[in-house]
Amino acid sequence: MKHRNLGMSRPITRRDFISGFAVAISGSMAWRWSEARTASSAYPPVLTGMRGSHEGSFEVAHAMRNGAQWEDPEDTGEQYDLVVVGGGLSGLAAAWYFREAKPEARVLILENHDDFGGHAKRNEFWVGDRMVLSHGGTENIQDLRRYDAAGRRLLKSIGIDVARYPEFHDTSVYGSRNLGTSVFLCKESFGRDHLLVGDGKPSWREYFARTPLSETAQQQLIALHESDTDYLKGLAQKEKIGFLQKTSYERYLQETVGIGEEAVAYLWRSTTWATGLDSISAWVAAGEGWPGTAGLGVDDAFETGAVPNEESLFCQFPDGNATIARLIVRALAPGVAPGNTVDDIVATRFDYGALDSANSRARVRLNSTVVNVSHRGDPNSANDVEVTYVLDGRAFRVRGDRCVLACYNASIPYICGELPAEQKKSLSQAVRAPLIYTNVLLSNWNALARLGVRYARCPNSYFETIRLTDPLNIGGYRHSSAPDQPVVLRMSRAPLDPELRGQPIVDQWRAGRAELLTTTFETFEMKIRDQLGRMFRDGGFDSSRDIAAITVNRWPHGYAFGHDPDTGQVAYMLDELPPERSPWIAARKPFGRIAIANSDATADAMTEGAFRAAHLAIESLVG
Told to check if 110 binds ligand FAD by CB under 6 A, we report: yes
144-180: burial string, b at 16+ Cβ within 10 Å, e else: bebbeebbbbbbeebbbebeebeebbbeebbeebebe
CB of 192 to ligand FAD, least distance (A): 31
User: Taking the complex as a whole, how short is the minimal distance between the CB of residue 537 and ligand FAD, in angstroms?
Assistant: 28
Position 40 contacts ligand FAD (CB under 6 A): no
14 is a site residue for ligand FAD (CB under 6 A): no
Q: State yes or no: residue 120 binds ligand FAD (CB under 6 A).
A: yes
Note whether 88 binds ligand FAD by CB under 6 A: yes
Choices 110-118, 481-489, 544-552, 582-590 (CB under 6 A): range interacting with ligand FAD? 110-118
Binding-site member from 559, 561, 572, 584 for ligand FAD (CB under 6 A):
559
- CA pair distance 109, 503, nearest whole angstrom: 38
In terms of Cβ atoms closer than 10 Å to its own Cβ (0-12, 13-18, 19+), residue 351 is: middle
Nearer residue to ligand FAD within complex by CB, 111 or 525: 111
What is d(CA 400, CA 98) in angstroms, rounded to the nearest whole number?
Answer: 13
- Compute the residue count for the chain: 623
Q: By rule CB under 6 A, what string of x and - marks binding of each residue 505-534 to ligand FAD?
A: ------------------------------
Residue count, binding to ligand FAD (CB under 6 A): 40
Q: Which of 48, 140, 293, 348 binds ligand FAD (CB under 6 A)?
A: 140
Nearer to ligand FAD, 44 or 137 (CB): 137
Q: Which of 44, 49, 86, 556 binds ligand FAD (CB under 6 A)?
A: 86
Residue of 369, 372, 461, 508 interacting with ligand FAD (CB under 6 A): 369
The C-alpha atoms of residue 481 and residue 487 are separated, in whole angstroms, by 9
Query: Helix (H, G, I), strand (E, B), or coil: what is residue 187?
Result: helix
- Pairwise CA distance, residues 152 & 182, whole Å: 35
Instruction: Compute the distance between CA of residue 291 and CA of residue 203 in angstroms, rounded to an integer.
Output: 16
Instruction: Check: CB of residue 102 under 8 Å from CB of residue 361.
Output: no
- CA-CA distance, 242 to 516, in Å (whole number)? 35
Contact predicate 47/17, CB 8 Å: yes
218 is an interface residue for ligand FAD by CB under 6 A: no
Q: Which of 13, 40, 48, 112 forms a contact with ligand FAD (CB under 6 A)?
A: 112
132, amino acid identity: V
Rounded to the nearest 5°, which phi and psi values hold at 237? -50, -45
> Rule CB under 6 A: which of 596-615 touch ligand FAD?
598-599, 605-607, 609-610
Stretch that binds ligand FAD, among 116-124, 157-165, 449-457, 517-525 (CB under 6 A): 116-124
- Chosen residue from 44, 91, 276, 562 binding ligand FAD by CB under 6 A: 91
84 binds ligand FAD (CB under 6 A): no
Q: Return the DSSP state at 169.
A: B
Inter-CA distances, 279 with 106, 246, 259, Å? 44, 11, 18
61 makes contact with ligand FAD (CB under 6 A): yes
Instruction: Name the site residues for ligand FAD (rule: CB under 6 A).
Output: 61, 85-91, 110-113, 118-120, 137-140, 142, 369-370, 406-408, 411, 415, 435, 437, 555, 557-559, 598-599, 605-607, 609-610
